[in-house]
Amino acid sequence: MEPFNAKPIPGDTSAVQCGQLQSPILDALGRPLRDLRISVTDRCNFRCTYCMPKQVFGSGFQFIRHQDMLSFEEIARLASIFTSLGIAKVRLTGGEPLLRRHIERLVGYLADIKCPDGSGLDLALTTNGSVLRQKAKALFDAGLKRITVSLDALDNDTYMKMNDVGFPVSIVLDAIEYALAVGFSPVKVNAVIRKGYNEGQILPLVAHFKGTPVILRFIEYMDAGTRSGWHTDQIVPSARIIETIQSKYPIEPLEANYPGETAERWRHTDGGGEIGVISSITQPFCSACSRIRLSTDGKIYPCLFSTTGFDLRQLIRSGQPDDTIRQAVVDYWHSRADRYSELRLKKEYQQDGQRIEMHYIGG
């Protein structure tokens, strides 16, 4: 297949690096379009209680039909259009993205996308790690250089309680080791902390990854989707997580890598590595949010907590040219004013409509 070359919006773009447009595309709150998250499947082999509780996502649940999913070629074409609009980073998510067959082929297409100065996209992927051991080498060889693994506990019983399918933690820990050996860097591990479930796993996780290249991040439990029975009294605030860590391990804050980085960075003062907290509840980061999401069936959503999206698949499948699709994305981003995390706890705030599910749009 021909490599995809991103042709930015007219004007002198010869030396444009990915994500470095002279005039970035800004939304209604002045935030630039920078990050694209692509959900390549709504299916998952886990039933994490805060995302796809078993009682809802049982055997009868209707997942997206394959013919309704974007093909790899359609995804790559859209990613190329987004790159021409200033996207610098693409993250593949799901459901569980590694369940999508031949996913490494898509990684290859995305790694082929070049900006006028020859630079490429910053490609990343988030996985539950269940089949990472089998896929790591092919993904790396296809052009993926960094990976994030969701791991909510070190204790096997707690881990199996969280994924609710009895999947053993040892397989994922082994896959993380292997990903490091293959050459992924960084390898990040994300743990969602839910009170009454796994707050006792904070220190064991820190102990396990201390002194390794793995960057461990703790995520405040969010009300993504509508199925988890989320309640504020199940949140462990990041400040408490940091306190818990500091009670045993001296850590100090680090500068952000770039504006709008979602994780607040810390490091062990003895050089034992980096830890992060992602505080969508207690320290919302909407003011610098530069993320747009593409669903498995080709809709774009301006926010993880959106209730409506815009269908790009129908534009593609009705034969619209790139310029028409590009203009539709620009118009959509211009009208974006989402800041759900800043509003969610405000008494007077009422969200219209039903939020999209996390397994459908990815974290």
Contact yes or no for 188/150 (Cβ under 8 A): no
Task: Determine if 340 is a binding residue for ligand SF4 (CB under 6 A).
Answer: yes
Cβ 159 to ligand SF4, closest distance in Å?
A: 26
User: What CA–CA distance (Å, rounded) separates 230 from 190?
Assistant: 19
The label of the residue with tokens 């992602």 reads 278
Q: Which is nearer to ligand SF4, 291 or 313 (CB)?
A: 291
Mask of contacts with ligand SF4, 281-320, x by CB under 6 A?
Answer: ----xx--x-x-----------xxx---------------
* Binding footprint of ligand SF4, residue count (CB under 6 A): 11
Figure out which of the listed residues 114, 145, 240, 339 binds ligand SF4, where binding follows CB under 6 A: 339
**Residue 146 main-chain phi, psi, to 5 deg:** -140, 150
Rg (CA), the chain: 20
Cβ 27 to ligand SF4, closest distance in Å?
A: 9
Figure out which of the listed residues 126, 148, 228, 341 binds ligand SF4, where binding follows CB under 6 A: 341
Cβ 22 to ligand SF4, closest distance in Å?
A: 25
Which of 91, 320, 83, 95 is CA-nearest to residue 188?
A: 91
Cβ neighbour number for residue 117 with a 10 Å cutoff: 12
Binding part of the chain for ligand SF4, among 101-109, 152-160, 248-256, 338-346 by CB under 6 A, reads 338-346
Q: Which is nearer to ligand SF4, 132 or 361 (CB)?
A: 361
Q: Which is nearer to ligand SF4, 27 or 96 (CB)?
A: 27
Cβ 32 to ligand SF4, closest distance in Å?
A: 13
Counting every residue, how long is the chain? 363
Binding part of the chain for ligand SF4, among 1-9, 17-25, 57-65, 333-341 by CB under 6 A, reads 333-341
Q: Which is nearer to ligand SF4, 27 or 274 (CB)?
A: 27
Task: Determine if 263 is a binding residue for ligand SF4 (CB under 6 A).
Answer: no
Maximum alpha-carbon separation in the chain: 59
Q: Which is nearer to ligand SF4, 83 or 280 (CB)?
A: 280
What residues contact residue 327 under an 8 Å CB cut-off, 6+ apart?
Answer: none
User: What CA–CA distance (Å, rounded) separates 328 from 6?
Assistant: 17
Binding part of the chain for ligand SF4, among 60-68, 148-156, 314-322, 332-340 by CB under 6 A, reads 332-340
Beta strands in 143-246, from DSSP E residues, in sequence order: 146-150, 187-193, 215-220
Which of 164, 159, 130 is CA-nearest to residue 55?
A: 164
Half-sphere exposure for 61 (CA within 13 Å, toward CB)? 16
Binding part of the chain for ligand SF4, among 87-95, 105-113, 187-195, 337-345 by CB under 6 A, reads 337-345
Beta strands in the chain, from DSSP E residues, in sequence order: 35-39, 89-93, 122-127, 146-150, 187-193, 215-220, 251-253, 263-268, 274-278, 291-294, 299-301, 310-311
Q: Which is nearer to ligand SF4, 112 or 220 (CB)?
A: 220
Q: Which is nearer to ligand SF4, 100 or 336 (CB)?
A: 336
- Interacting residues toward ligand SF4 by CB under 6 A: 285-286, 289, 291, 303-305, 338-341
